[in-house]
Structure 1
Amino acid sequence: MIPTPLTCQKSNLYLNQHATRLAAPPASFLVHYWGGKPRHLGNDMHSHSFLEICYVADGEGIYINNGITYPLKRGTLYCSKPGSQHQIQSDDGMLLLFVAFDILHGESAPDIVRMFETITKYHHLFIPDAEETAPVLIWKSILIQASEVKAPYPEVISQLAHSMLITALSLFAERSSYSSLDAAEDQVPLSGSLQKAKDYIQTHLSGKLAIKDVADAIHVSERQLSRLLSTELQQTFPAWVRTERLKRASYLLAYTDMSMEDIARETGFETVHYFHRVFTDTLHSTPGKFRKSIASKELDTKLINDFMGTLVKPHQKT
């Protein structure tokens, strides 16, 4: 079912009046706005302080996020993070659904807050095949009910809206997490210093990363940073950096049409040859084969997490 322009217009009016504060266990949300825009041709580069989930109900275009271009097509679900510079472009226009919101930390369960905060740290919140997923199906149901002349049982619409946000966050957490290493870090939260180090590394992957530079940036000694890596993650610094580079490269291969040269440069590998060798030695698949497997569904996007779990073992301390 593709929402009509009239359905979008009517549901926008209703939802922005009656579904802006969604409070129920296990989380409460403050919705800044709901939207459904037919023939959306694009917008200027911008950023905001909240999460914005978008769904391409019809049409095609591109999504540019922090300099990386992603293809948009019918069925694509993606999320723009707080602070990210992003925009969309479409030659013929897309039917785009969107909702912008914040979680209310004091009214939400700790595990949901932790999931929300973890999601905001992922490089990629992009699911290309979400048409039959729970949040999208719930979203379409919301639009139908909210567009009726007199919406019956408004509390039901609020409950559906709340469920949609919860299931969307859960889906992004499941489909956008990088590897079992990330899962382990989520189960045992990183210390403040190590989380700062990870944030620094992830935002500087395209350049050279020396332990001294990272330690200086987070105001600890090299020895202390090495000890934290050893005790919390059983990792050496070079192994940790290499893992982060490969995790980012795998998602650029899967979800963008960037060239191998651009991916190698974006993820800090000195040459395409070196990137190819490290990727193949670690994952037992060439970058090209990995990309083709994703595109042909030989390697379903749902299984990337399991596949990328092989990153961890080669990089554990020995």
Structure 2
Amino acid sequence: MSSPQRTALPGPEAKRADVAARLAKLGFRVEDGCEEIEGAIKAFQLSRGIPETGECDLITWRTIVEAGFTFGDRVLYLRSPSFRGDDVAWLQERLGNLGFDPGRVDGIFGPRTRDALQDFQTNVALPADGICGGATVDELRRVFGRSSEHIHGVLERQDLHVRRKPLTEASIAVLGSLPLEQQAELLAQRLRARGARAVAITDTDQSRLAVIANTRQLDLVTYFDFSTFGLQVAYYSGFRYTSPAGMLLAQMVSTGLEGLRLPVPVSLRGMTLPILRETRMPAVSIAIDHPHHWLILGPEVVEAVAGSIERFLVDPGQEPQDAMGSIPN
């Protein structure tokens, strides 16, 4: 997988005005004053499934930049670093609803998106060059026959019905924020004790961890981090697309954690965190709001997560709810 596009943050003096202008263009009201822009940033973060810190950190800044691209604004093609943005997501949704599988809708123009685009171009008698511009843009907007379901979501659902794997045959990466190395290693140990091939890796950069995960033959990924409130269990959901496998895994993990009756609230939500967006296998993020809570509750959380992972691999046994999205107008 290509590394994420490195969009630099503006300088301190220009940053506030630039962020305010971009948010206003996206429909988020911004007035003068720190509290007002913090509120607008939080509203944007909530709408995009990233942590609502109210600060324009690197993930938030990149997401704001990506949100500014509308389909047809630029020519899209496979390159390194990959094109990222709402225009790419629109292309992926459109292709998938027409029956051409670009993989999950993640707003990243990778090889599977290029291949699906070439299939579409061949189908409508256009040069199959994998470049989305000009005539291809017009044809994608014009063509009829769109489905209410994305083909990749359908394939993921079908895979859930046939997915059966004993833990002794599973390969799992336990990833985490750097301060949670001990907790990540503990889960890896618990999974290895159950017979799985499990490795723990921590890093400050979620995208680097996603690259590592994608280079291995993994059955699933878990990620440990800190949340803004309580204990949050998250799966990939973004650009009006939700990963059915990721959602089901997160539902099973959340159910296991709720059974512990912990002194912190447990919530389940779809997010576009890089670790969920950029990995290519079922992934779940488990985040607790304070280092002290991780220290005290960590062993219980780890044991419950290990059991949920085993249940997911051996017999999913259920359908995830509200896992499909529709194409934007």
TM-score of the superposition, structure 2-length normalised?
Answer: 0.26
TM-score of the superposition, structure 1-length normalised?
Answer: 0.27
Bigger strand share? 1
Bigger helix share? 1
